[in-house]
């Protein structure tokens, strides 16, 4: 798969998990695992990028005596999911055009 396309897919997968509610790194990885493989070394740069883009917010909280970073999706993150779904619809039309030999 094209690395840029996969990067965009991973971003939206992370946002989709966060749409269910606040979460943290390890839990996000386990929630995404049935769909696509992702490691901690891949996830945390994605979360940082999404936070910089104001698609998620982060807060630190204590859990069993340790600090854990929790992430929450923002309205901008929800908009990013909507934009992605529109793009996928367009890809579907292009895919059909290609598989039908260039006919509408």
**What mean pLDDT value characterizes the chain?**
92
Mean pLDDT along residues 96-101: 92
What's the pTM value of the predicted model, to 2 decimals?
A: 0.85
Name the phi and psi angles at 22, rounded to 5: -55, 145
Could you tell me if residue 104 is inside a domain? no
What CATH number is given to the structural domain containing 32? Answer: 1.10.10.10
Cα 30 to its chain centre, rounded Å, is 13
Res 1: pLDDT: 66
Structural domain range at position 34:
3-99
Q: What are the counts of helices (DSSP H) followed by strands (DSSP E) for the chain?
A: 4, 3
Reported as a single tens digit per residue, the pLDDT across 37-50 is: 899 999 999 999 99
Query: Residue 104: which pLDDT band, with cuts at 50, 70 and 90?
Result: low
Could you tell me if residue 84 is inside a domain? yes
Res 7: pLDDT: 74
- Count of domains forming the chain: 1
């Amino acid at each position: 798969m094209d690395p840029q396309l996969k990067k965009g897919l991973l971003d939206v997968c992370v946002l989709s998990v966060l749409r269910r509610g606040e979460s943290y790194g390890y839990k996000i990885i386990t929630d995404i695992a049935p769909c696509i493989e992702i490691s901690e070394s891949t996830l945390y740069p994605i979360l940082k990028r999404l936070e910089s883009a104001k698609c998620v917010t982060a807060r630190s909280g204590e859990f069993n005596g340790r600090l854990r970073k929790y992430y929450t999706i923002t309205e901008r993150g929800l908009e990013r999911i909507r934009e992605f779904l529109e793009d996928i619809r367009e890809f579907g039309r292009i895919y059909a055009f290609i598989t039908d030999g260039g006919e509408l």
